[in-house]
Every structure is written in C-alpha cells, then in structure tokens.
A and B are shown apart, each in its own frame.
Chain A
C-alpha cells in the first residue's frame, strides 16, 4: 500500500474536501459580521447558491452541447452562485441597514426564504428537465478533480495533500488569504472594522456607514453562497436532492465564532470541522458513539464561545455593534 493511500493522508484530504464549502460560507459571513451585520441567513443563501450554481452549469451544457468547456462551466457556476447569494444578502441589507429591521429576525426570514427558493429552483429544474438534473461526466470531472497534472498529484504525501484537491479548495484559500489581508492591512478594511465596532465613531470620522455595510453584506453573502454551489458540485455529486445542504450554513455560522472572526483561522478551522463531520465514517472509538461525532463541531464552538467571553481579551470578542441597527440620531 502506498503512503498516499494511508489512513492519515486519506483522512486529511477528505477533511479538506468536506471543509471547503464551510470555508466559503465562513469567510463570507466574517466579512458581513465585521461590518456589524449578523446575517443568520447563510443557510438560505447557500441553498440559493447551490441551486443556481448547478443550474448555470446544467443549462450551459445543454446550450453548448458537446463543445461545452469545463472552465467556462466552473466560472459560470461561481458567478451565478455569487449572484444568488448577493441577491439574498441584498434583501437582508435593505431591510436591516436602510429600514433598520431586527437583524436576527431578518436573517431567519432569509434562511426560510432562501432554503425555500433553493429547493424550489432545484425541484423545478428537476421536473422541467424530466426526472433529474445531471451534467455529463466530463464536466463533472472538471468540478471534482484536481487541476494539476498527474505527475504532481502522484508525488508521495505532498501529491494528495497539496495538489490533489478540486479547484475550489485553492480558490477558497486564496479568498480567505485575500480577506485576511483586506481586513487587517488595507485602509478600507480598517474602516470596515470600525463600522462594525462603533458605527457612531466611524460616522463621526466621515466614513460612509451605509456604503460599507451594504458592500460587506452583499459581497459576503455572495461568497457564502459559492460554498453552497461547491457543496452541490463536489460533495453531493452534481445532483439536486431533497436533503439539500443539510445544515452547512448553520455550521458556517458556528465556524465564524470558532475561528474568532479571522479568515486565516477559517482555513484550518474548516479542515477541522470537515474532519469532525466525516470522522464517524473513518475512526471508530469504543467510548464515543458514532452519532455523537456530528455534534462535536457545535460543542467545540460553544466551548470557544464561552472561553472567549471568560477571558475577555479584547481582540477576540465579536464585533461590538454586531446585531445592532445604526441610526445616527439615536446617540
């Protein structure tokens, strides 16, 4: 048995694959929360992204026939998933930022609306395509397989662990690193964080609160929704089923807390959560029933949440104005 088939290598690469949808969901939600908008509609946006992303790839292949180009399909899927999430987030942003509606309730309404819309679109495509929506195996491979040549993928250990993933893993890591740079190193990122910490102060400093909040929420929602598409196109095997995303979005909300609102932490955090999600299939411990593995991500998130609130280190706290609407004359 080669080292690339060893238990640990297989476990890590499976964990990365399962964590990637979470990585997108989490990084998008971090952007939104850093601007003070707790958008609980991640699950809904990811559903919409999943349905529209799959639809984009499917209808593109229908239109292009045999000459369908894999790269174009991937780009279209990303684009439409992003637009779906951005649309959902725009509704949320309009209600909470312009109309000052309660963020918790609006987010939950978006979760209900988005899961319904995603299911509806998925189901509607399934029926109108006559049975089931499926793309060709050639196109599926572009979504699910590594973009690197076989020579690199075959290297011992680093082959599967660095070059062996589908393209979305690399896109996700790039987005997370770019987000970390943006939030901590750029002027716009500093402004954005100040909007999330103390909008009144930011307002007094001449920062356009409304613009930052809108952009952060809408772009963040779009990024989150890409995660839904990645889930459908890689883990769920490019078909729409009734299970849909089975709670990925809520797990992403948990991961935001677990990684303390830092995109770089989200990279390893998503791998850890991905591992916890699949561990029950690969590692049987005599004392822990396999069904209880599935609650581990939530349990560790609670522990982190409590530990952070106990230690009261300022840089680890949630953004101070998280969940509050801002009205200038309220001061």
Chain B
C-alpha cells in the first residue's frame, strides 16, 4: 500500500460492538449534551447547576409535578410506539401528527353526538375504536399511493398533517362550534372523559400495555418478522414470496391506528375537547424518541420520560428563574443532535493514516 495515497482519515463499517460499550457511548453523548446545555445557561447568566436542579425538582419534586410530567410523556410514548414498525420497515411515516389529529376527530364525533345515547364504558370503547379507525385510514392513504405508484411517503405524510389540522380548524369554527363565534368545540360530557388512576388519566396504563404488546409484536410474531425483512431489503422479501404492498399497507394502518388511539387518549383524557392543537408537535418529537430508542419499545419509555422531564422542568424554570420555556426545545434539540451523532461512532470506525496495520490485525 502506498502510504502517500492513504487519506488522513478513513472510515470503515464496524459490527459486533459489545452492548455495554454501545450504551457507554450513548451515555457519553448525553453527558456532552447536558454540558452544552450548561454553556447555554451560562451564556444567559444563570447558574447551570441550579437551573438543572430546578428542572428536576420542577418535574419530579412534587406529586402534582410528577403527574403533569407523566401526562406529557403519555402521548410521546404512545406515538413513538406507533412509529416504530414503520421506521423498522424503512417507511418514513412523518405523519403521526395528522394521524393523532384524525384519531381525535373520530373520538370527538362520538363524544359530542353519542354521549347521551351510549352507556359510559361503551361510549369510551366506541371512541377508542373510532379514533384508531380514523387514524388508521388517515395513514392508509399515503401507504396506498406508495405501494401503487411509489409516491414519496415522507412528503405525502407530511402534507397529510396539515390537512388534518386544517380540517379540525374548520370543525372548530364551523359545524362543531359550541357557542357561536367562540371558535371552540364544547367540553366533552363527563361520560366521554377517561377515568383517572393514581391521579393521571388512565392513558398511561394503555400506553404501557401497548409497549409490551409492541415489543412482542415486533420481536416474536410473523408479521413483525415480515416488517423486519421488508426493511432490510424489499427484494429479499419479494423473493421469499411476501406481498410487500400488503405488508406496507397493513403496517401503516396499524401505525396510524395507534397514533389515532393516542389522539383519543389526549382529547378525552387530557384536553376533554377537540382542538386543532391536539397533537401539539408530539407527532414529530415522537419520531426522534422512537429513533433514539433504536426502535426498542422499552427504551422508548425512558426517552419519552426524559423529554417530558425537560419540558415540564422548563415550565418551572420560566416561572422561577424567568428563563423562557423554549429553553426545553433547545436542550431537547441538543440532546437529539448528540445522540444522533454518537450512533456514528457505534456503526463506523475512524482510521487515521498510519494505523492500518492495527486494523488488519483486528
């Protein structure tokens, strides 16, 4: 080998890194993110230690604070679970925002117009099913065009978000408006509100159950296996006799249905009404949750909890230290950047010039 022709830095794929080392790299990336956040606090003249302390006590210090943090984490976790099978299949569904909203519309229809006709528990079950159906169908539309004509799913699902939100805006100001001119849909009947368990609406039980189910679905079922094969190579899947189009549409329906269920949970449990901000960016943030968790449902629990702590803690930071609450988005972004970047050091090996002997020996 001619030494002069070797570039200064080369890259090689790496596989078989030990689990412990992988998580050590991720932990280091997280620490780096926290340090960058500390620099931001210093720049605006706050003590980083007391700022982070306020975030922790503000989100986990009191019972009421913990409840609010859990309420933020519920839709994040649920939607991340919804996104996991799509991303495993390398189908870039960034339309969870719209699927949540569509699901909330389905649930709201029954909450508004069937509350007096159905007994309480039945009403909630019907709302949940309607939410899942609406979300699923909303997701099925781009999946259909993708399988039939190869329409770019990233861009299609993105557009569907704003169409769903626009439709809710119309419902709010038009057909479903409560008091004329208010632009607000009336509060749900108490029968259409999810009951509370341990002080938080029981959505947390639903998403935790979904976590376990999704883990088994992806890891131990035939359908989960098909999703993994399609994600690795569509041609392999076709050669093995799988109906790729059917798998894509089925998975997207499932994904949209879970997002729709989240829409039901949020509108019934947290908001008690339908409004255009029902998804509130959760659809986008959940994508990063799912991706950082390596699409592992159990890891998603931890990451959605972490982001919820940041968001709730930043609210307290605003009231106590007059730091704008948008600091949570900045820190979340920095954490995401660092965690995304660190995957490189897990998947690739950086080789400096003159070190190739060691490489061939390894």
A interface, CB within 8 angstroms of B: 38, 40, 91, 94-95, 98-102, 104-106, 108-117, 119-120, 123-124, 127, 247, 250, 253-254, 257, 289, 291-292, 294-295, 298-299, 301-302, 305-306, 309-310, 318, 322-323, 327, 329
Contact B155 A305 (CB under 8 A): yes
Contact A123 B324 (CB under 8 A): yes
Mark out the residues of chain B between 316 and 362 whose CB falls within 8 Å of any chain A CB in the assembled complex: 322, 324, 326-330, 332-334, 336-337, 340-341, 343-344, 347-348
Asked whether B151 is an interface residue with its Cβ less than 8 Å from the other chain, the reply is: yes
Mark out the residues of chain B between 46 and 80 whose CB falls within 8 Å of any chain A CB in the assembled complex: none
Closest chain B residue, CB of each to CB of A330: B13
B172 surroundings in chain A (CB, below 8 A): 291
Asked whether B160 is an interface residue with its Cβ less than 8 Å from the other chain, the reply is: yes
- From B151, B291, B334, A306 is in contact (CB under 8 Å) with B151
Shortest beta-carbon distance from B303 to chain A in Å: 13
Asked whether B170 is an interface residue with its Cβ less than 8 Å from the other chain, the reply is: yes
Closest 4 CB pairs of A and B: A116-B329, A113-B333, A295-B166, A99-B344
Contact B151 A112 (CB under 8 A): no
Given contact pairs A102-B291, A309-B150, enumerate 10 new A-B contacts (beta carbons under 8 Å).
A98-B344, A100-B348, A117-B333, A119-B329, A123-B326, A250-B162, A291-B169, A305-B159, A306-B151, A322-B152
Per the bound structure, the CA–CA distance linking A269 and B173 in Å amounts to 28
> Contacts A116-B326, A254-B159 hold; do A289 and B174 have CB atoms under 8 A apart?
yes
Asked whether B213 is an interface residue with its Cβ less than 8 Å from the other chain, the reply is: no
Contact B151 A309 (CB under 8 A): yes
Asked whether B215 is an interface residue with its Cβ less than 8 Å from the other chain, the reply is: no
Shortest beta-carbon distance from B4 to chain A in Å: 18
Contact B333 A289 (CB under 8 A): no
Per the bound structure, the CA–CA distance linking A322 and B348 in Å amounts to 22
Contact B337 A113 (CB under 8 A): yes
B interface, CB within 8 angstroms of A: 11-13, 44, 92, 94, 145, 149-152, 154-156, 158-163, 166-167, 169-170, 172-174, 281, 284-285, 287-288, 291, 322, 324, 326-330, 332-334, 336-337, 340-341, 343-344, 347-348
Contact B333 A99 (CB under 8 A): no
B159 surroundings in chain A (CB, below 8 A): 254, 298-299, 301-302, 305
Contact A105 B149 (CB under 8 A): no
B170 surroundings in chain A (CB, below 8 A): 289, 291-292
Could you list 30 examples of A-B contacts with CB < 8 Å? A100-B347, A100-B348, A101-B340, A101-B341, A101-B343, A102-B340, A104-B92, A109-B336, A109-B337, A112-B281, A112-B333, A113-B329, A113-B334, A115-B326, A116-B326, A120-B327, A120-B330, A123-B326, A253-B155, A254-B158, A291-B166, A291-B174, A292-B167, A294-B166, A298-B160, A301-B159, A305-B155, A306-B145, A318-B152, A329-B13
> Contacts A100-B347, A112-B285, A309-B150 hold; do A117 and B13 have CB atoms under 8 A apart?
no
> Contacts A40-B94, A109-B336, A111-B284 hold; do A295 and B151 have CB atoms under 8 A apart?
no
Contact A104 B150 (CB under 8 A): no
Contact B287 A310 (CB under 8 A): no
Per the bound structure, the CA–CA distance linking A38 and B157 in Å amounts to 14
Per the bound structure, the CA–CA distance linking A115 and B332 in Å amounts to 11
Shortest beta-carbon distance from A73 to chain B in Å: 25
Per the bound structure, the CA–CA distance linking A273 and B333 in Å amounts to 30
Closest chain A residue, CB of each to CB of B173: A291
Closest chain A residue, CB of each to CB of B329: A116
Per the bound structure, the CA–CA distance linking A323 and B153 in Å amounts to 12
Shortest beta-carbon distance from A23 to chain B in Å: 19
Closest chain A residue, CB of each to CB of B290: A105
Per the bound structure, the CA–CA distance linking A115 and B150 in Å amounts to 32
Per the bound structure, the CA–CA distance linking A254 and B332 in Å amounts to 26
Contact B162 A298 (CB under 8 A): yes
Shortest beta-carbon distance from B55 to chain A in Å: 15
B44 surroundings in chain A (CB, below 8 A): 124
Contact A112 B326 (CB under 8 A): no
A310 surroundings in chain B (CB, below 8 A): 149
B149 surroundings in chain A (CB, below 8 A): 306, 309-310
Contact A112 B288 (CB under 8 A): yes
> Contacts A99-B344, A102-B291 hold; do A257 and B155 have CB atoms under 8 A apart?
yes
Contact A247 B340 (CB under 8 A): no
- From B281, B332, B337, A95 is in contact (CB under 8 Å) with B337
Per the bound structure, the CA–CA distance linking A295 and B101 in Å amounts to 14
A111 surroundings in chain B (CB, below 8 A): 284
Per the bound structure, the CA–CA distance linking A109 and B338 in Å amounts to 11
A299 surroundings in chain B (CB, below 8 A): 159, 163
A38 surroundings in chain B (CB, below 8 A): 154
Residue among B155, B161, B324 with max Cβ neighbours from chain A (10 Å): B155
Shortest beta-carbon distance from B246 to chain A in Å: 20
B150 surroundings in chain A (CB, below 8 A): 309
> Contacts A100-B347, A105-B287, A127-B322 hold; do A309 and B145 have CB atoms under 8 A apart?
yes
Per the bound structure, the CA–CA distance linking A329 and B162 in Å amounts to 39
A298 surroundings in chain B (CB, below 8 A): 159-160, 162-163, 166
Closest chain B residue, CB of each to CB of A288: B170
Contact A104 B287 (CB under 8 A): yes
Contact B329 A112 (CB under 8 A): yes
Closest chain A residue, CB of each to CB of B164: A295
Residue among A98, A106, A119, A298 with max Cβ neighbours from chain B (10 Å): A298
